[in-house]
């Protein structure tokens, strides 16, 4: 007989793993989480030694929603007999490699998580009044289950700038790559003559720093390191206490109530909230460059903000990149042995969703329309609910990919799935009032009633 579940999660990254952990043991809720990979793995291409999370350890899988959960980071530390070393280390921001290991520890123990299970089809079964989820094991065995509700947590895919896409082929493997694969090709890049890193976010900064450290002490050996970025500056991430209140339910409520064109503009303008670099990493890069000037030498590196790559071609033993400086409207060309694109990630429609695509109410740009409970708008004929995690920046703002809101969002979805308050979530979490305070009987022009109501919370 076909197994039935109240909830099926597709993809087991940190966000769906958070939902799996928070739903573990909830009475009357039968859940299953599926992932095609053989085991949990989080950005393996960027797990370099010395890199740390950009959020405090309290932004683990569960603590911000349920600090009593056995799946907290602190309980992970206790289970590994490391409480005293952790206490003495006084770390608020933990190593990225440790976060990956913590998530793997949870994924291996939460009974609803199933790996080596690639979802191939998601469709609506009108006869059963449920979603039909078909998944396949590595051995080729296909299984079909039914779910009253489904949560998509399939993650994001690397973004490759248009001018560089023709070079992302097997012919150029290991020499032209996205930063998601950096660690795999790290040794080869460190041995190159010249490496160009494109992208000014945290990943780009960490790749630049790692390549600089691959040079010898005098900066003579190792590759010449060039850093290009479209942003007007290599700027630190906004990390002030009030600035971080953009990652609260309060801001999400305000953002959701804005007209679409204003939301699109805000996401672009707020790049320092989610594309900036930690001040510590920028400081480390500066220190490496400073070391190279001792004795009158020049660093074998160049930093170019405000620059975009407009064309690229392969030739000889390297690549020619034509670049444009936005403010000067000036063009120049650089030659390089290798290119690392630290150009971020974006949500993409998974292939298994195609049988359901005609029943999804897409927006004008082909994106999900997502409500306050992270429920996707569907055709009225579908009585079940489909939810998404980390595919809603256009409707919920810059907090969508941030780990800070992961447990809160998972708890919000869990309450909606269960049809009751399993875990209470705060109505107000910020000191900041986003938007104009509401005057009785007055609503700001162009702002929805929901946003106006949120300004009073």
* 148's tokens: 């009253």
- pLDDT tens column, 357-408: 999 999 999 999 999 999 999 999 999 999 999 999 999 999 999 999 999 9
Residue 95 has pLDDT above 50, yes or no: yes
Residue-level pLDDT at 448 = 56
- Same-domain status, 172 and 229: yes
Q: How many CA atoms lie within 13 A of 103 on its CB side?
A: 25
What average pLDDT score do residues 108-135 get?
97
CATH of the domain at 145: 3.50.50.60
**Is residue 40, in this structure, part of any structural domain at all?**
yes
* 419's tokens: 């049809």
Name which of 399, 401, 426 is nearest 412 in CA terms.
426
| DSSP, residue by residue, 212-234 | HHHS-TTS-SS-EEEEE-SSSS-
- Same-domain status, 168 and 149: no
Are the C-beta atoms of 114 and 102 separated by less than 8 Å?
no
- Same-domain status, 153 and 167: no
**Is residue 451, in this structure, part of any structural domain at all?**
no
**Is residue 58, in this structure, part of any structural domain at all?**
yes
- Same-domain status, 283 and 327: yes
Are the C-beta atoms of 118 and 136 separated by less than 8 Å?
yes
Higher-pLDDT residue of 454, 29:
29
- Confidence band (pLDDT; 50, 70, 90) for 181? very high
Q: Which of 341, 359, 382 is the last residue of a domain?
A: 341
Residue-level pLDDT at 1 = 73
Residue-level pLDDT at 446 = 55
Q: How many CA atoms lie within 13 A of 66 on its CB side?
A: 23
* 375's tokens: 């429920």
Residue 456 has pLDDT above 50, yes or no: no
**Is residue 378, in this structure, part of any structural domain at all?**
yes
**Is residue 152, in this structure, part of any structural domain at all?**
yes
- Same-domain status, 9 and 134: yes
Residue-level pLDDT at 447 = 55
Look up the pTM and report it.
0.92
Name which of 436, 424, 427, 425 is nearest 457 in CA terms.
427
Phi-psi region of 256 (alpha: psi -120 to 50; beta: other; left: phi over 0): alpha
Name which of 300, 288, 46, 279 is nearest 185 in CA terms.
46
Residue 175 has pLDDT above 60, yes or no: yes
Name which of 236, 223, 318, 306 is nearest 271 in CA terms.
236
- Same-domain status, 83 and 214: no
Residue-level pLDDT at 274 = 87
CA 429 to chain centre: 22
- Confidence band (pLDDT; 50, 70, 90) for 219? low
- Same-domain status, 332 and 285: yes
Q: Which of 403, 418, 433 is the last residue of a domain?
A: 418
- pLDDT tens column, 22-73: 999 999 999 999 999 999 999 998 899 889 999 999 999 999 999 999 999 9
Strand duo 330-336 + 157-158: pairing:
unpaired
- Same-domain status, 89 and 201: no
- The boundaries of the domain holding residue 404 are 4-157+345-418
- Same-domain status, 141 and 281: no
Are the C-beta atoms of 108 and 41 separated by less than 8 Å?
no
Q: Which of 341, 373, 395 is the last residue of a domain?
A: 341
Residue-level pLDDT at 437 = 85
| DSSP, residue by residue, 70-115 | TTSHHHHHHHTT-HHHHHHHT-SS-BHHHHHHHHHHHHTT-TTEE-
Strand duo 345-346 + 130-136: pairing:
unpaired
**Is residue 17, in this structure, part of any structural domain at all?**
yes
- Cβ of 255: how many Cβ atoms within 10 Å? 25
**Is residue 209, in this structure, part of any structural domain at all?**
yes
- Same-domain status, 32 and 149: yes
What is the tally of structural domains in the chain? 2
- Confidence band (pLDDT; 50, 70, 90) for 235? very high
- Same-domain status, 109 and 222: no
- Rounded to the nearest 10 degrees, the angle between the axes of helix 96-107 and helix 14-23 is 40
**Is residue 353, in this structure, part of any structural domain at all?**
yes
CA pair distance 247, 401, nearest whole angstrom: 10
Locate all alpha helices (DSSP H) within 179-278, ordered by sequence. 186-190, 202-214, 249-256, 260-269, 271-274
What average pLDDT score do residues 327-346 get?
96
What average pLDDT score do residues 181-196 get?
96
Residue-level pLDDT at 304 = 97
- Confidence band (pLDDT; 50, 70, 90) for 442? low
- Same-domain status, 38 and 131: yes
What average pLDDT score do residues 318-334 get?
97
Residue-level pLDDT at 440 = 66
């Amino acid at each position: 007989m076909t197994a039935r579940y109240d909830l099926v999660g597709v993809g087991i990254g940190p966000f769906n793993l958070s939902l799996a952990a928070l739903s573990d043991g909830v009475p009357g809720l039968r859940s299953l989480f599926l992932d095609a990979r053989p085991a949990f793995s989080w950005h393996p291409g960027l797990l370099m030694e010395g890199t740390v999370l950009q959020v405090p350890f309290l932004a683990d899988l569960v603590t911000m929603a349920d600090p009593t959960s056995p799946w907290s980071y602190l309980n992970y530390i206790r289970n590994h007999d490391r409480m005293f070393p952790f206490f003495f280390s006084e770390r608020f921001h933990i190593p990225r490699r440790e976060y990956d290991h913590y998530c793997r520890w949870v994924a291996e123990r939460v009974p609803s998580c199933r790996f080596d299970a690639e979802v191939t089809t998601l469709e609506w079964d009108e006869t059963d009044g449920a979603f039909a989820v078909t998944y396949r094991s590595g051995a080729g065995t296909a299984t079909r289950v039914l779910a009253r509700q489904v949560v998509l947590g399939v993650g994001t895919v690397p973004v490759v700038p248009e001018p560089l896409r023709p070079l992302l082929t097997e012919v150029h493997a290991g020499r032209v790559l996205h930063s998601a694969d950096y660690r795999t090709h790290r040794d080869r890049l460190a041995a190159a003559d010249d490496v160009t890193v494109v992208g000014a976010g945290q990943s780009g900064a960490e790749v630049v720093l790692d390549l600089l450290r691959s040079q010898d002490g005098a900066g003579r050996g190792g590759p010449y390191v060039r850093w290009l970025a479209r942003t007007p500056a290599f700027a630190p991430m906004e990390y002030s206490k009030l600035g971080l209140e953009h990652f609260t339910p309060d801001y999400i409520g305000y953002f959701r109530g804005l007209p679409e064109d204003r939301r699109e503009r805000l996401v672009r303008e707020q790049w320092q909230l989610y594309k900036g670099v930690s001040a510590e990493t920028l400081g480390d890069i500066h220190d490496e460059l400073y070391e190279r000037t001792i004795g009158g030498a020049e660093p074998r590196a160049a930093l170019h903000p405000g620059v975009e790559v407009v064309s690229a071609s392969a030739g000889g033993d390297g690549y020619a990149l034509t670049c444009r400086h936005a403010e000067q409207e000036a063009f120049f060309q650089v030659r390089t042995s290798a290119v690392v694109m630290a150009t971020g990630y974006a949500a993409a429609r998974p292939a298994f969703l195609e049988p359901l695509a005609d029943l999804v109410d897409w927006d004008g740009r082909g994106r999900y329309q997502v409500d306050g409970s992270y429920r996707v708008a569907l055709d009225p004929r579908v009585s079940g609910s489909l939810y998404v995690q980390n595919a809603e920046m256009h409707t919920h703002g810059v907090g969508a990919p941030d780990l800070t809101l992961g447990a809160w969002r998972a708890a919000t979805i869990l309450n909606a799935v269960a049809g009751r308050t399993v875990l209470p979530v705060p109505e107000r979490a910020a000191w900041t009032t986003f938007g104009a305070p509401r005057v009785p009987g007055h609503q700001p022009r162009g702002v929805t009633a929901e946003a106006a109501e949120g300004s009073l919370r």
